[in-house]
Each structure stands twice: as structure tokens, then as C-alpha cells.
């Protein structure tokens, strides 16, 4: 049936039995395709019927459908005619893992960070209202996990004040974000799930009251008192309607017919309204709903039958950090681990198992996590805040003014730093070096291998009067790269026979740097490769070291604008050191989804291209062509 679905209009001709058959086929399709390519499997298996019902009642793209977060949009992509692209999901030439405007007019939001869709929905529906487009509705599908983010509540506060916006909020309540949803909201939604029992009580009460001949009396009063008491405890409309939002539900999100009836009512309401749907993340696929459910939020390539990885993964940067933090936690009782709904992905699950009382999961609330960490530091603890590099963007103000300004002893650990690839523009961690470079008192380490992860982590948690930060990339960790020597904290990784080029390698770029230096040596150019380990502040000894060389190259996997090369250039200018600086890094642009190696190849960040550039620059200098200091090398020049 999937092959016959080219647009949501094709759903109109199907009866409910056929819709159930389509839902089953979609689940089989997702399991078959996503286990081969990797991707977000669990969230999409949970929203099959819900998405079908939404597309049956609303007319996309005239009615705008927004997903928060976009990782639950695979079914939406199938129903909007994109099933053929799933063979290359999250790969070059295939579908993006999130909504993407270039793919379809049915996609609106490309940012795949949680808790943003309600604000989008507020703005779009207000825009429709103000521009006399009253025949258009906006539907926001938001998970219970995304409702733990403060931005969602900022949006709800404004949405509730409006009476005319045609905005339908569908809460996809599966008790999970990435990890199980936690906090007061999760407790409240759990209470709402108990309303089915409440409704049964009401039905029983109505029947008993109908048989009671006299209004009043002890039986009548008792029943009404019980009814009021239970309603006060579990009435679903409580919090949302107190906020000013009409509430419908909760409904079985896997019952297409029931969801359609609810959505029709919501559409006809004509103002902001919330529809509460209960779903099961990973529905229909046993490995995704059993003990390892969290691992099936996003999967690599796995066996479709067992759910086990096809290839056993090697040690990862994350696992090395995770194990070392546990060791440090055993030695120091003041170490506290904090994350934002990502205990497993950041490696803090191991710390939680051993030290549950010292592990804090704040939900999807990075801003709160960082300021809370400042408070913990004030109270004498040393918090370790572990998040993906891209998600630290959301808490920059708190890092700057709550942590750094107060010189709080907080350690940030950024996983997935640099180019990550598969998840597309919003998930690349290419901004952290530029952003953190302007934060006073913050010290930043970029370990090149697993041994340096352990080493710099221990150095970081020893700092109690300023914030520290470690960043490392996604995936398998490289073999340890030993240093020939360490000078003033700077590791020398490769020593050229002549003082032609000083190559400053940042973090995980060490392998490529050493390989490029080796190739340049065969071309007659002497390159010395150094790793500062701590890239903020950079050691002043760099100035002394650079004086011996004809040019300096800085290689980093963050954006060049405001990155480490810019800091080196400023340092040299302050020291009145006149030496050409060549910057190799990521240009100031958003990078489309592709494998990390493919992205780096596109950017010219390969050992071969770097070698060619170094040889050409050195040759030009020998011929008397002078390059200005702080030269930024474009992608074209690198090629």
C-alpha cells in the first residue's frame, strides 16, 4: 500500500480496516529500512496511527503540521510521498533524518532541537489570523519529553492568551524523550493516564446515582464527594485549562478512529486546543520496547530480527569519558553528573548506576542544567555537565553569566563536537570553539585521543575557581597518539627536519595532521606538528615556538570564523610576531547531512589536500611571495 501513497490525499479513499493494514505495513517498512541505514526508529514506530489520523483530518500543506522534535517525522515523510528515499536515509542523496524544506512543501521546521515547535506554531497561527487566512490550521505534534523544556512553556503561556488562533497541540505522550521523561510534568502526565479509571468511576457513579430515588442523603452526598475528590486529583483538564488551554483526552494514540474523532473536534473548536494522545515508543518491535528501549531511540545498522548491532562497535570517545568519570566519582564524593535527557548517549548512565544520588537528569532543559550546576558549585560540589556540543548553544547565556561570571567550578563535557554528519545542519558541533572562545575565565581542552580524554578530564575537575570544558567527536576513538615531548603543556607529535611549517593540530585532527606532515616531508617540506591540548587559554610559549618557523597552519574541525586560528592570530599580533598564519577549518555555512568523512572531503580537510596546500604555501614563500598574517584559506584554495 505504501507505494500507492504519493500524498496525504491518497488516505481519503481508505476505510479504517485498510488504514490499520497501512499502519502495520508502515511499521514493517520502518523496521526493514531503518535497521539497514540507522536512524530514529523507536519514536517513529510510536506515531504511526497518530500521524495517519492527523493527515486524514488536516490538509497539508495548506494546514501546517509541525513536529517537535523532527525525529518523529518518518511516517509523515512516507505519507507525503517520500518512501523511495528511505534506502539512503541520512545519507548523501537520500532523505534527511528530520523535516527538510528542500525535500517537500509539507516540511516547515528544519531545526531538530526540541521544545521549539510550539513557538513556531504560535507564530504561524498568529500570522494566519492576522493575514485573514482563517481557513488554515496549524498542528504541533509535541512529545512529553519536549514539554520538559522551558521554551515550550514560554510558548504555551502566550498561546493560552489567544482565543482566535487555529492551533491544535497534539501531546504525544509516550513517557520518554530520549531517556524516560522525568520531573514534575512527567508525574502530572502519569496522573492524567489514570483518568481512564476516573472515567470508569464516573460511569459507575452515574449509574448508581440514577438508581438513587432521592436527591441528597448520605449515599448521594458520599458519591458526589468522592467524585469531586477524585476529579481534583486526576482531572486531565486541570493544569492545562488553568493555564487557559482547552483540553481533550487522554486518547489512545494507536486508535486511528478515536484520534480522528478527537482531531475533528479540535479542528472545529476554532482556537488553541490541546489533544492528549497516549502512545508507545517502539510499538510493534519487541527490541525497541523491552529492556534496551533507550538504545532504539536512534540506532546504527542493526539486525532487524534481534535488534543487535551488525558490527560490534569499537571503543568510543563517549565510553572512555564514561568509564573515567566513574573512576573519578569513586575517588571524589563531590563529583556530580548532570545531563539533559541524554544519560545513555552522553555516557552518564554508568555513573548513574553507581552513584544514582549524584546523577541529575533535568529533562530537555539545558539552560536550567547549567545554572543549576553553578548553584551546585557554590554549595561545594563539582558538577560535570555532559551534553552534545550542538546543545550547548542553547545554554550559552547561562554558561557566560551564571557560570563563568561567578567563576564556578563546573566542568562541561561536549560529545559530538565538530562535524558529525548524519543528522544534518542542526546537529553538527562546529560552533563550540568559537562560542566558548569569548567566555572569560573558561578553560577549554580538546583531547586528541582516549588517553588525553582521561588526562584532561582529571585536570579539569581539579579546577575549582573557574569553569572548564572538554570536547571530543562522535564515533570510535582513534588509537592513542604519543608525543615526542611536552613543552610547557604543548605536546610535540611530529618533528620536521627543517623549520618550514608549524602545524597546530586541534583535538581529533591529530591523525590527519601527522599524516599530512609525513607526506609533506616526502615533498621536501619540514612540518612540526604540535597539540596544545588546552586551547583556551593558549600557552604563551606558542609565540616563542612559532618564531622558529616560516609559517604556521592551524587545523580545527570547528568554524574558522572566531575559532582557534583567530585566537592564535590575535596572540601573534599582540606579540608583534610577523608570521603567516593559514587557517584550515569549517567555513561559515550550514552543512547538509552526509557521513563525517564525506563532509570533511567536501571541505578539503583531508591529509592529501592539506599536504598539497602546505607544499604550495611553502613553495610560494621560498619564491619570495609573501602572505599576510592571519590568511584564511578558502575551500577552493585547499582543493
Please give the grid coordinates belonging to residue 439.
567566555
Which of the following is catalytic: 27, 33, 358, 394?
394
- What are the residues facing 42 on neighbouring strands? none
Which helix H or strand E contains 527, and what residues bound it? strand 527-531
Query: H/E/C letters for each residue in 275-338?
Result: EEEECCCCCCCHHHHCCCHHHHCCECCECCCCCCECCCCCCEHHHHHHHHHHHHHHHCCCEEEE
What residues are designated binding site? 71, 112-114, 144-146, 174, 285, 366
Pick from 34, 307, 283: nearest CA to 174: 283
Cα radius of gyration rounded to whole Å, the chain: 28
Q: Rounded to an integer, what is the distance from CA 424 to the centroid of its chain?
A: 11
268 is catalytic: no
What residues are designated binding site for thiamine diphosphate? 71, 112-114, 145-146, 174, 285, 366
Which of the following is catalytic: 49, 260, 280, 366?
366
> What Å distances lie between residue 4 and 14, 107, 261, 291, 562, CA to CA?
11, 20, 25, 36, 50
Pick from 511, 562, 504, 514: nearest CA to 534: 504
Sign of CA dihedral 564, 111, 344, 332: positive
366 is catalytic: yes
Q: Would you say 42 and 302 are in contact if contact means Cβ atoms under 8 Å apart?
A: no
- What are the residues facing 536 on neighbouring strands? 444
What residues are designated binding site for Mg(2+)? 144, 174
Please give the grid coordinates belonging to residue 367.
539552560
Query: H/E/C letters for each residue in 479-499?
Result: CCCCCCEEECCEEEEECCCCC
On the CB side of 372, CA atoms within 13 Å amount to: 17
Pick from 463, 336, 454: nearest CA to 404: 463
Q: Rounded to an integer, what is the distance from CA 369 to the centroid of its chain?
A: 15
Which of the following is catalytic: 27, 33, 281, 474?
281
d(CA 474, CA 463): 26
Pick from 277, 43, 66: nearest CA to 155: 66
Q: Would you say 139 and 66 are in contact if contact means Cβ atoms under 8 Å apart?
A: yes
Enumerate residues 6+ apart whose C-beta is below 8 A from 293.
42, 176, 281, 282
Which helix H or strand E contains 350, and what residues bound it? helix 348-354
Q: Would you say 272 and 12 are in contact if contact means Cβ atoms under 8 Å apart?
A: no
394 is catalytic: yes
Whether a cis peptide bond, with omega within 30° of 0, leads into 69 is yes
Please give the grid coordinates belonging to residue 320.
572512555
CA angle in degrees (0–180, nearest 5) for 498-499-501 = 115
Query: H/E/C letters for each residue in 590-619?
Result: CCCCCCHHHHHHHHCCCHHHHHHHHHHHHH
Would you name the residues annotated as active-site residues? Answer: 281, 366, 394
Amino acid at each position: 500500500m505504501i507505494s500507492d501513497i504519493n500524498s496525504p490525499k491518497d488516505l481519503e479513499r481508505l476505510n479504517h480496516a485498510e488504514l490499520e493494514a497501512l499502519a502495520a505495513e508502515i511499521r514493517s517498512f520502518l523496521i526493514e529500512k531503518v535497521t539497514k541505514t540507522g536512524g530514529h526508529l523507536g519514536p517513529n514506530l510510536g506515531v504511526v496511527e497518530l500521524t495517519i489520523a492527523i493527515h486524514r483530518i488536516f490538509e497539508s500543506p495548506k494546514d501546517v503540521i509541525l513536529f517537535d522534535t523532527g525525529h518523529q517525522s518518518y511516517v509523515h515523510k512516507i505519507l507525503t510521498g517520500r518512501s523511495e528515499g528511505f534506502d539512503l536515509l541520512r545519507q548523501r542523496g537520500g532523505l534527511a533524518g528530520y523535516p527538510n524544506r528542500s525535500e517537500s512543501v509539507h516540511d516547515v521546521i528544519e531545526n531538530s532541537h526540541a521544545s521549539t515547535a510550539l513557538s513556531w506554531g504560535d507564530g504561524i497561527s498568529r500570522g494566519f489570523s492576522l493575514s485573514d487566512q482563517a481557513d488554515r490550521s496549524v498542528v504541533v505534534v509535541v512529545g512529553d519529553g519536549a514539554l520538559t523544556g522551558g521554551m515550550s512553556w514560554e510558548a504555551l503561556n502566550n498561546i493560552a492568551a489567544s482565543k482566535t488562533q487555529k492551533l491544535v497541540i497534539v501531546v504525544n505522550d509516550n513517557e520518554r524523550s530520549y531517556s524516560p521523561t522525568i520531573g514534575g510534568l512527567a508525574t502530572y502526565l502519569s496522573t492524567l493516564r489514570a483518568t481512564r479509571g476516573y472515567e470508569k468511576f464516573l460511569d459507575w457513579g452515574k449509574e448508581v446515582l440514577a438508581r438513587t430515588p432521592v436527591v441528597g442523603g448520605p449515599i448521594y452526598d458520599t458519591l458526589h464527594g468522592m467524585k469531586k475528590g477524585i476529579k481534583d486529583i486526576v482531572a486531565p483538564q486541570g493544569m492545562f485549562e488553568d493555564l487557559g488551554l482547552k483540553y481533550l483526552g487522554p486518547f489512545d494514540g494507536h486508535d486511528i478512529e478515536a484520534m480522528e474523532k478527537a482531531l475533528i473536534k479540535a479542528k472545529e473548536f476554532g482556537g488553541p486546543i490541546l489533544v492528549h494522545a497516549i502512545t508507545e515508543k517502539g510499538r510493534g518491535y519487541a527490541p525497541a520496547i523491552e529492556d534496551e528501549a533507550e538504545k532504539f531511540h536512534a540506532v546504527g545498522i542493526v539486525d532487524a530480527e534481534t535488534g543487535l548491532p551488525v558490527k560490534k562497535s569499537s571503543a568510543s570517545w563517549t565510553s572512555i569519558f564514561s568509564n573515567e568519570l566513574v573512576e573519578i566519582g569513586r575517588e571524589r564524593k563531590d563529583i556530580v553528573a548532570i545531563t539533559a535527557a541524554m544519560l545513555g548517549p552522553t555516557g552518564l548512565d554508568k555513573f548513574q548506576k553507581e552513584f544514582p544520588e549524584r546523577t541529575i537528569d533535568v529533562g530537555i532543559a539545558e539552560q536550567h542544567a547549567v545554572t543549576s550546576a553553578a548553584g551546585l558549585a557554590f554549595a561545594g560540589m563539582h558538577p560535570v555537565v555532559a551534553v552534545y556540543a550542538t546543545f550547548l548553544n542553547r545554554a550559552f547565556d547561562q554558561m557566560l553569566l551564571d557560570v563563568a561570571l561567578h567563576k564556578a567550578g563546573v566542568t562541561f563535557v561536549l560529545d559530538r563536537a565538530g562535524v558529525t554528519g548524519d543528522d544534518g545542519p542542526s546537529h553538527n558541533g562546529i560552533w563550540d570553539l568559537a562560542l566558548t572562545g569569548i567566555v572569560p575565565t573558561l578553560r577549554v581542552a580538546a583531547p586528541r585521543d582516549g588517553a588525553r580524554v582521561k588526562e584532561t578530564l582529571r585536570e579539569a575537575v581539579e579546577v575549582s575557581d573557574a569553569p572548564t570544558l572538554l570536547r571530543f567527536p562522535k564515533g570510535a576513538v582513534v588509537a592513542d597518539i604519543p608525543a615526542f615531548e611536552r613543552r610547557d603543556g604543548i605536546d610535540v607529535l611530529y618533528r620536521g627536519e627543517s623549520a618550514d611549517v608549524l602545524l597546530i593540530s586541534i583535538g581529533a585532527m591529530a591523525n590527519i595532521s601527522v599524516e599530512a606532515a609525513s607526506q609533506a616531508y616526502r615533498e621536501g617540506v619540514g612540518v612540526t606538528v604540535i597539540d596544545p591540548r588546552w586551547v583556551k587559554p593558549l600557552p604563551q610559549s606558542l609565540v616563542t615556538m612559532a618564531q622558529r618557523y616560516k609559517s604556521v597552519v592551524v587545523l580545527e574541525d570547528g568554524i574558522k570564523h572566531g575559532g582557534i586560528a583567530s585566537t592564535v592570530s590575535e596572540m601573534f599580533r599582540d606579540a608583534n610576531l610577523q608570521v603567516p598564519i593559514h587557517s584550515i577549518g569549517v567555513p561559515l555555512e550550514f552543512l547538509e547531512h552526509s557521513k563525517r568523512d564525506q563532509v570533511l572531503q567536501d571541505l578539503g580537510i583531508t591529509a592529501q589536500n592539506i599536504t598539497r596546500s602546505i607544499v604550495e604555501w611553502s613553495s610560494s614563500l621560498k619564491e619570495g611571495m609573501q602572505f599576510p598574517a592571519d590568511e584564511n584559506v578558502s575551500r577552493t584554495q585547499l582543493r
